Amino acid sequence: MPKPNGAQIRKRRIERGLTTAQLAARVGFTNEGSMRNIEGRSDATSEIKLHRIARELGVAVKEILADDDIGVIGSGVLHEVTPR
């Protein structure tokens, strides 16, 4: 599973005026604890959830990936998400 850059996700979430609970709900997590773990510890998450996080934050997936995971999404090709 890809490892996100938790600090970047937190920064982008705050810029969008969202709470962890709001972003977690929009992404499909059952509770905000999962979102807090991603932001605080950069816990790995599924590719689908990573794409949803990027979509909700209005950024490309590569902007919220840990440096060592850029380019490893799916078959090795990073799929872009069109910002809203």
Mean pLDDT (whole number) for 22-27: 95
Band (68; pLDDT cuts 50, 70, 90): low
Is 0.85 surpassed by the pTM of this model?
Answer: no
In angstroms, the CA 7 to CA 41 distance is: 9
In angstroms, the CA 57 to CA 16 distance is: 7
Domain regions of the chain by residue span: 6-69
CATH number for the domain whose boundaries are 6-69: 1.10.260.40
pLDDT per residue over 29-66, tens digit each? Answer: 988 998 999 998 777 888 898 999 999 999 999 888 87
